Structure 1
Amino acid sequence: MSALTIVVVVCIVMMSLALMSSLALLLKDGGDATRAVLADKVFYTMIAIFVTWTIINPTSISYEIPLLAGLLGLLTTVSFARILSKGRR
């Protein structure tokens, strides 16, 4: 096992812990604004875990998924903002 593999595994474990704590807070807290922010955080943390995983497990779609997720993430952020503002512009 190389040093890079150990570092990547430690990073994935730390991001997974952050993801689990965000999900726990998302289920516990009931505010709309908090849910919107935490939903974005969970989404981008999952993408970060995937990108980190592809460092040690190369795939043919390593960069396409984060690019697509970035585009879709923008749409979800805008839709959450519209929900919070109740459709006002």
Structure 2
Amino acid sequence: MFVTIMQACLIVMAVCLLVMLGAVILTKDELSRAVMADMIFYGMIAIFLVWTLFNSSAIAYEIPILAGLVCGVIPTISMARIISRGRR
């Protein structure tokens, strides 16, 4: 039962990622693209975390922790650069 629920969750997350990818391709606004790219990144991390429930790995939880730390700083900097149009 648990495996079936987790597989359904993986399918829903994959469909959401595909929809978000399509939205990134179709939008023209740079700020919206940056926000959607962050959403895609977090979705991929969520899929990885669900995948680790099925497959054991030595660094299963270090990757999302590092991604969370890095993804807290880099999108803020990139979004600031997009809003200011590259001016310092």
CA contact (8 A) 2:10 2:47 kept: yes
Measure, in 2, the Cα distance between the counterparts of 1:41 and 1:63: 19
Report what 1:20 is aligned to: 18
Q: Unaligned regions of 5+ residues in structure 2, if any?
A: none
Question: 1:1-89 to 2 correspondence within 5 Å?
Answer: 3-86=1-84
Q: Unaligned regions of 5+ residues in structure 1, if any?
A: none
Q: Which piece of structure 1 moves more, 16-25 or 71-80? A: 71-80
The percent identity for this pair of structures is: 36
CA contact (8 A) 1:51 1:62 kept: yes
User: 1:47: how far off?
Assistant: 0.2
Post-superposition CA distance 1:30-71 (Å, at most 9, x none): 101110110000000000000011111121111100001001
Q: Which amino acid letter does the alignment assign opposite residue 20 of structure 1? A: L
TM-score (norm 1): 0.89
CA contact (8 A) 1:47 1:66 kept: yes
Measure, in 1, the Cα distance between the counterparts of 2:78 and 2:12: 27
Number of equivalenced pairs: 87
SS in 1 for 2:60: coil
